[in-house]
Structure 1
Amino acid sequence: MVQKIELANGLRLVCEQIPHVRSVSIGIWVHTGSRFETESENGISHFLEHMFFKGTKNRSASEIAEAFDRIGGHVNAFTSKEYTCFYAKVLDEHASYAIDILSDMFFNSIFAEEEVKKEKNVVFEEIKMVDDTPDDIVHDYLSEASYGVHSLGYPILGTVDTLKTFDGDFLRDYMKRHYTAEHVVVSMAGNIDDQLIDTVKSTFSAVKPGKQGPKVEAPTFLAKRITKQKDTEQAHLCLGFNGLQIGHEDIYPLVVLNNLLGGSMSSRLFQEIREKRGLAYSVFSFHSSYQDSGLLTIYGGTAPNQLNDLYDGIKQTLDSLVAGNVSEKEIENGKEQLKGNLMLSLESTNSRMSRNGKNELLLKRHRSLDEMVEEINEVTHKDVNRLAEQLFNRDFSLSLISPTGELPDSLMK
């Protein structure tokens, strides 16, 4: 059972007690990401994530790293389009120590200019690494093709030009505006006790409340094409379809639909493109939900001379779904697989911490495992057919990286 506590400053704490384990996972979730940045700020949420590890008033960067190694724990962070998370997983006996370090990073990071300069170079190299990974950067191009100049189309890492303008004062100003109590959730799962909860409440009551967060406008789905010429061995193709926002009433039917489309080894795309035609090693689909929109992505990588065949195979697969050629057996198998994956994933304290933190931050509600299983069970054949027609019977966005940068002939018609 998830326990929710709201502090006087508006910060929320969510806890899930799992007494039979010896670990505790702790995450600080902040409702900020590239979605909430201006064009000149693009990349600052991700850069701040890096800088929290670069030294505080009490610890150097190396001391932060050594502190977790010393107790056999794990610490990391990540930034998405709509949130940033700093998290640690440790033995239960070291949970208070982990909170002390995480809170020190959160409250006391100094953003020293020499560290800012060094870390800029680190992120420059990260941007280059992504640019050199076509099956990664092609997804950034798809976001741009789907949303254009809207902030959902911005790359999470930012750009070399925006990154060059960041300094300590810029970081502190952004943090003052976005890292306010009402935008922060602390999530804990594992063998936690009341003393640990009291420690978090006392520590994070110091987070200052702020004004209402930045207003964001819902994006317009643009269905554009972006192609890039790059000297690669494969052509990397992404198709994007206008999806559903987080919390939408059809989100579970969409999860089932995506699973049978390209979410597993038995999916339509995997069986048609890889197993039957032998066109790709990697082919899959996934859905990304945002607070007011969503994007269903299909990816495939193949030899450049097989690009037409790859697209034709994807199109035939989608046409079959739109025509309603989905069996009850496929849907039932997909539902059972999803339920199994859900239950297995929640055996990890880190997974439970992540689920609870994200749900509280974005939805402000928590469903039990039984409720989620029931939602999956209630998905019908009619629901899946209706969504397939709704999503795939429309124009789509596209991104392509290939040696020529030219669209397949079938897409030029």
Structure 2
Amino acid sequence: MLTQPTLPSRPRQLLLSNAADAGVSRSVLPGGIRVVTERVPGVRSASIGVWVGVGSRDEDPAVAGAAHFLEHLLFKATPTRSALEINQSLEAVGGELNAFTSKEHTCFYAHVIDEDLAMAIDVVSDVVLRGLCREADVDLERQVVLEELAMRDDDFEDLVGDALLEALFGSDAIGRPIIGTEDTVMSMGQEALHTFHVQRYTPEKMVIAVAGNIEHDEVVRLITAAFADSIDPDIEPAPVRAGERDLVTKPGTTVIHRKSEQTHLAIGAQAFGRHDLRHRWPLAVLNTVIGGGLSSRLFQEIRETRGLAYSVYSGVDTFSDTGTFSVYAGCQPEHVAEVAGLIRDVLSDVALNGITESECSRAKGSLRGGLVLGLEDSSSRMNRIGRSELNYGKHHSVSSVLERIADVTPEQVAEVARIVLSRPFALAVVGPYKKKSQVPAELRALAGQGFLPG
């Protein structure tokens, strides 16, 4: 049973009463721990996430994949719980316990009935702070990660996505796969993983986000109890990851040979970092029009009108200092040239002529509906406030975001299209090609240039 601990010296709890969302509260605890909560009326659930500002781009090349490896490893044991006991704690109450790793952060989370929140906070914090890196567990979990790598290699859509980032960003850490490589996973030992854990997973780099049928003051009490032994009151919160970096790359082409029935292709160019708020929503509208839904230009031209592909879409990834705009398609090899030509035509037309008023209106409606409908449960709310706190250090109300989307004009989208689509694109291909020269010329022509004619 959790009890109220004695606070460390110089308690610096700060409750921000001016949070942009009416139900969002934020406190900064001694040691730099940020606690952000959102009360969601009408639900009986609660979600807790411990967000750590450490991801795959923070790794040295020799330990590429360490954050993801550690995500697996910390669940194996703590000083007071075995792996079975960790899992049984949540399963016994019908809850969910999991984690994920990204380029710039890692999140350990649980979703439970509201009355089990105290237990969930205790378990998740125990795993993050005190998960053991035992030699036997490292060797055991290494094989699990290798199986995950093999699974990624068998999923050609995922494989071509990783290959595209490598083709776009080259040797920069952001271009490396989150999961690492077989070589780095095989070479990482217990000491390297333990060092990565104790040096990087420190409270000042953490945001604890909780949403659901909860009370902020009670959450703060529970977090204070769970983190009491790890708090250094003289440490300030880690700053928000900066977005000021001139990342210059030379986009290339990556071809991975597989005996597949389809050719999987992805092209992409650098876009904007998440701190570039001017371009964020116009880019989202552009992406929706080009390939973000069933009425998008790519889907209509390639699948609906000609039936050349089952899956075709565009996407946007956003990091602190850069981002990507990309297009994916999977089709039979004999259709690659035609699909490549259609992708070129769609992107060139948008780059030159922008989008129509009706396309802009439909895309904004899609984005606004998706945002609101995606926040119907406590897990989604927890994810939103956790990411906002870690990435920006502040929060915007849903209504203010909806207003930003509504304010996007076709002219703003056209400006973003001219910027992004004129940049050189990288190309990644997974399919029955043993060397680049075997890839159809129409597809190879998509790489190394932009799509703004003239």
**Is TM-score (shorter-chain normalized) higher than 0.5?**
yes
**How far off is 1:291 after superposition?**
0.4
**How far off is 1:35 after superposition?**
0.7
Say yes or no: does 1:302 pair with 2:331: yes
For the residues of structure 2 that align with 1:274 and 1:147, how far apart are their CA atoms? 30
Give the secondary-structure state (helix, strand or coil) at the position aligned to 2:230: coil
Give the aligned partner of residue 7 of structure 1.
29
Deviations 1:252-276 (A, max 9, x none): 1111111111111111111111101
Which residue among 377, 380, 392 is the counterpart of 1:363?
Answer: 392
> 8 Å contact 1:221–1:242 — kept in the other structure?
no
Give the secondary-structure state (helix, strand or coil) at the position aligned to 1:250: helix
Give the aligned partner of residue 87 of structure 2.
65
Say yes or no: does 1:243 pair with 2:271: yes
Say yes or no: does 1:234 pair with 2:262: yes
Percent sequence identity is: 38
Give the aligned partner of residue 441 of structure 2.
409
Give the aligned partner of residue 175 of structure 1.
197
For the residues of structure 2 that align with 1:121 and 1:218, how far apart are their CA atoms? 38
Deviations 1:337-366 (A, max 9, x none): 111111111111101100110111111111
Q: What letter corresponds to residue 83 of structure 2 in structure 1? A: A
Say yes or no: does 1:196 pair with 2:219: yes
**How far off is 1:19 after superposition?**
3.0
Say yes or no: does 1:266 pair with 2:290: no
Structure 1 residues 329 and 401 mapped into 2: Cα distance closer, same or farther (>3 Å)?
A: same
For the residues of structure 1 that align with 2:140 and 2:419, how far apart are their CA atoms? 48
Say yes or no: does 1:219 pair with 2:247: yes
For the residues of structure 1 that align with 2:108 and 2:443, how far apart are their CA atoms? 42
**How far off is 1:303 after superposition?**
0.3
> 8 Å contact 1:258–1:286 — kept in the other structure?
yes
Give the secondary-structure state (helix, strand or coil) at the position aligned to 1:53: coil
RMSD: 1.7
Extract structure 1 runs of 4+ deviating beyond 6 A.
210-216
- TM-score, with length taken from structure 1: 0.96
> 8 Å contact 1:11–1:182 — kept in the other structure?
yes
Give the secondary-structure state (helix, strand or coil) at the position aligned to 1:227: strand
Q: What letter corresponds to residue 65 of structure 2 in structure 1? A: G
For the residues of structure 2 that align with 1:411 and 1:102, how far apart are their CA atoms? 47
Greater mean alpha carbon deviation, residues 248-257 or residues 173-182: 173-182
Give the aligned partner of residue 333 of structure 1.
362
**How far off is 1:205 after superposition?**
4.5
> 8 Å contact 1:116–1:167 — kept in the other structure?
yes
**How far off is 1:164 after superposition?**
2.0
**How far off is 1:187 after superposition?**
0.3
Which residue among 159, 171, 177 is the counterpart of 1:155?
Answer: 177
Q: What letter corresponds to residue 126 of structure 1 in structure 2? A: E
Greater mean alpha carbon deviation, residues 397-406 or residues 381-390: 397-406
For the residues of structure 1 that align with 2:35 and 2:311, how far apart are their CA atoms? 40
Deviations 1:155-208 (A, max 9, x none): 111112111232332222112221122211000000012323311133234435
Structure 1 residues 412 and 59 mapped into 2: Cα distance closer, same or farther (>3 Å)?
A: closer
Deviations 1:48-81 (A, max 9, x none): 1001110111111111111111000011110011
Q: What letter corresponds to residue 379 of structure 1 in structure 2? A: V
Deviations 1:362-400 (A, max 9, x none): 111111011000000110110011111111122201100
Give the secondary-structure state (helix, strand or coil) at the position aligned to 1:49: helix
Deviations 1:140-160 (A, max 9, x none): 111110111110011111112
Give the aligned partner of residue 349 of structure 1.
378
Correspondences of 1:306-321 after superposition (within 5 Å): 306-321=335-350
Give the aligned partner of residue 110 of structure 1.
132
**How far off is 1:330 after superposition?**
0.8
Correspondences of 1:137-156 after superposition (within 5 Å): 137-156=159-178
Greater mean alpha carbon deviation, residues 210-219 or residues 159-168: 210-219
Structure 1 residues 206 and 376 mapped into 2: Cα distance closer, same or farther (>3 Å)?
A: farther
For the residues of structure 2 that align with 1:219 and 1:267, how far apart are their CA atoms? 30
Structure 1 residues 218 and 348 mapped into 2: Cα distance closer, same or farther (>3 Å)?
A: farther
For the residues of structure 1 that align with 2:231 and 2:287, how far apart are their CA atoms? 41
Correspondences of 1:389-400 after superposition (within 5 Å): 389-400=418-429
Give the secondary-structure state (helix, strand or coil) at the position aligned to 1:355: helix
Unaligned runs of 5+ in 2: 1-22, 446-454
Give the aligned partner of residue 385 of structure 1.
414
Give the secondary-structure state (helix, strand or coil) at the position aligned to 2:209: strand
Which residue among 142, 145, 161 is the counterpart of 1:123?
Answer: 145
Deviations 1:98-149 (A, max 9, x none): 1111111122212221111100001011111111211111111111101111
> 8 Å contact 1:8–1:205 — kept in the other structure?
no
Correspondences of 1:78-93 after superposition (within 5 Å): 78-93=100-115
Deviations 1:262-320 (A, max 9, x none): 11111111111110111110001110011000011110000011111111111111011
Structure 1 residues 215 and 241 mapped into 2: Cα distance closer, same or farther (>3 Å)?
A: closer
- TM-score, with length taken from structure 2: 0.88
Which residue among 281, 294, 300 is the counterpart of 1:252?
Answer: 281
For the residues of structure 2 that align with 1:228 and 1:103, how far apart are their CA atoms? 41
Greater mean alpha carbon deviation, residues 240-249 or residues 195-204: 195-204
How many equivalent pairs are there? Answer: 413
Give the aligned partner of residue 61 of structure 2.
39
Which residue among 50, 72, 76 is the counterpart of 1:54?
Answer: 76
Unaligned runs of 5+ in 1: none
